[in-house]
Amino acid sequence: ARQGAPEAIVAEGKTPAEIRAIAQALLDAEASSVLVTRADAEARAALREVAPDAQEDERARLAWVARDVPEARGTVAIVSGGTSDLPVVREAQVRAELLGTNVVVHVDAGVAGLHRLEPALPDLKRADCVVVVAGWDAALASVVGGLVGAPVIAVPTSTGYGATFGGVSALLAMITSCAAGVAVVNIDDGFGAGTIAARIARQSA
């Protein structure tokens, strides 16, 4: 495992046989966990074949096996604008937990109704790192970025239609956010967000 972090496998573009082989190799190398993302039923089954104790989340297209997850240190708060962003939220959550950190999740904090953000605020302010997951115009990132003092990792999602352009508009809004302290990962990249958020949270604890 490079840098102490367990590898993950993007299932798209790989055959089940390849997924099995890579997962087996990681386990043989004593990876603390293995996470398969963008995994359809076949890909998830492939992991289970080499790791019968694997877990999965169908909607988030995830499969993973936890073998030697480090004790949780620090806290990551994940907040998103709606249930459509849930698969990305889950990917970030699973990844951060497998790296050994505590995760608290708040869904449906849409900006259009700012009051909906209120119940989440205490958790957001307490966290060592905040992950904002949002599609459409992703205004949630700027709003949260203006309210918390912790580092904010923003994940644009492909939620939306028309001029959302598969998450491009959200990406652009997040990367040009006037709120300081915000950095951005790839569209729908819950995995990337979970990784950097966990690193920040763990070393902050």
Contacts of residue 201, Cβ cutoff 8 Å, sequence gap at least 6 = 73, 74, 75, 76, 96, 101, 102, 127, 128, 129
Which range of residues in 114-122, 124-132, 147-155, 189-197 is near ligand AMP by CB under 6 A? 189-197
- For 85, residues 6+ apart whose C-beta sits below 8 A from its C-beta are 107, 133, 134, 135, 157, 159
With a CB cutoff of 8 Å and minimum separation 6, the contacts of 103 are 75, 76, 77, 78, 93, 96, 97
Work out which of 23, 92, 128, 133 binds a second copy, going by CB under 8 A: 128
| CA 94/CA 63 separation, integer angstroms | 10
8 makes contact with a second copy (CB under 8 A):
yes
Stretch that binds a second copy, among 11-19, 26-34, 43-51, 60-68 (CB under 8 A): 11-19
Q: Three-state SS across 180-202?
A: CCEEECCCCCHHHHHHHHHHHHH
Between residue 151 and residue 170, which ones bind a second copy under the rule CB under 8 A?
151-153, 156, 158-165, 167-170
Structural contact between residues 92 and 193, judged by C-beta atoms closer than 8 angstroms: yes
Residue 75 corresponds to which tokens in the numbers above?
């806290």
Report strand pairing: 182-184 vs 152-156: parallel
Give the residue from 173, 181, 87 showing the smallest Cα distance to 138: 173
Contacts with a second copy in 39-58 (CB under 8 A)? none
Shortest CB 160 distance to ligand AMP, Å: 8
Residue 137 touching ligand AMP (CB under 6 A): no
Q: Binds 142, which of Mg ion, ligand AMP, a second copy, none (CB < 5 to 8 A, cut-off by type)? A: a second copy
Specify the residue, 53 or 71, whose C-beta has the smaller distance to a second copy: 71
Q: Which of 60, 64, 96, 191 binds a second copy (CB under 8 A)?
A: 191
Of residues 149 through 188, those in contact with ligand AMP by CB under 6 A are 178, 180
> Shortest Cβ distance from residue 184 to Mg ion (Å)?
8
Site for ligand AMP in 51-90 (CB under 6 A): 82, 84
191 binds ligand AMP (CB under 6 A): yes
